[in-house]
A and B are shown apart, each in its own frame.
Chain A
Amino acid sequence: QQQVKQSPQSLIVQKGGISIINCAYENTAFDYFPWYQQFPGKGPALLIAIRPDVSEKKEGRFTISFNKSAKQFSLHIMDSQPGDSATYFCAASGYGQNFVFGPGTRLSVLP
């Protein structure tokens, strides 16, 4: 119930391509779904987040798509750049629920 599944484990994309990372959850009490970006040796930093009252949220090149009925959400990075190379974690939380992180996706964007 508390687990958040994430795939793929690693992803290699050419510069300018689209990076897509998927997550799924079970706990219907979750109502906040952030994506965190982590560079080596640094703490995770919030990239973008969504609540289940919308199906999509876009901020620049980053888009979250949310499917409430399927209990799935995904991160799309358009026009991927080498500077986007990092580990991405999806997460979920809700009222009375601590943040639960997915296992992470290591993204490499080739120049």
Chain B
Amino acid sequence: EPEVTQTPSHQVTQMGQEVILRCVPISNHLYFYWYRQILGQKVEFLVSFYNNEISEKSEIFDDQFSVERPDGSNFTLKIRSTKLEDSAMYFCASTPTGRGELFFGEGSRLTVL
């Protein structure tokens, strides 16, 4: 069964460092998303991406965040200068049409020290 894959599964970084989280969405999907989940809390929308551009972003997705689809398969989330409060689980998700089931990856746990 096709699945969304994310790397790394866990990354520990120092405050102020740049982090890149990588995702490979399901191959025939066209809409891509990043969500964040602080431990034990709700799943929060960060950004959606379609046709090689951001279609919507939340207020959490400020200037320190960026997304990119550098090739036909990868979808990346970059955090330029990490802060302690960026520590969370980051989930990539994709869907074929922008409607219907959202397929999530296993997540990347980011720990900022």
A residues contacting B by CB (< 8 A) are 32, 34, 36, 41-46, 49, 89, 91, 93-95, 98-104
B48 touches A101 (CB 8 A): no
Q: Does B100 sit within 8 A of A, measured CB to CB? A: yes
Instruction: Give the interface SS of chain A, mostly helix, strand, loop or mixed.
Output: strand
- Pairs of residues from A and B, 7 with the lowest C-beta to C-beta distance, nearest first: A43-B104, A103-B42, A101-B43, A46-B101, A43-B106, A44-B104, A43-B107
* Residues on B with beta carbons closer than 8 Å to the beta carbon of A43: 4, 91, 93, 104-107
B residues contacting A by CB (< 8 A) are 4, 33, 35, 41-45, 48, 56, 91, 93, 99-107
B42 touches A99 (CB 8 A): no
How far, in whole Å, are A102 and B106 apart by their CA atoms in the complex? 19
B101 touches A44 (CB 8 A): no
CB distance from B103 to the nearest CB of A (A): 8
Residue of A nearest to B107 (CB): A43
B106 touches A93 (CB 8 A): no
Residue of B nearest to A87 (CB): B40
Task: Name 25 interchain pairs, CB-CB below 8 A, sorted by A.
Answer: A32-B100, A34-B101, A34-B102, A43-B4, A43-B104, A43-B105, A43-B106, A46-B101, A46-B102, A89-B42, A91-B102, A93-B99, A98-B33, A98-B45, A98-B56, A99-B33, A99-B102, A100-B45, A101-B35, A101-B42, A101-B43, A101-B45, A103-B41, A104-B42, A104-B43
* Residues on B with beta carbons closer than 8 Å to the beta carbon of A100: 45
CB distance from B17 to the nearest CB of A (A): 24
B91 touches A44 (CB 8 A): yes
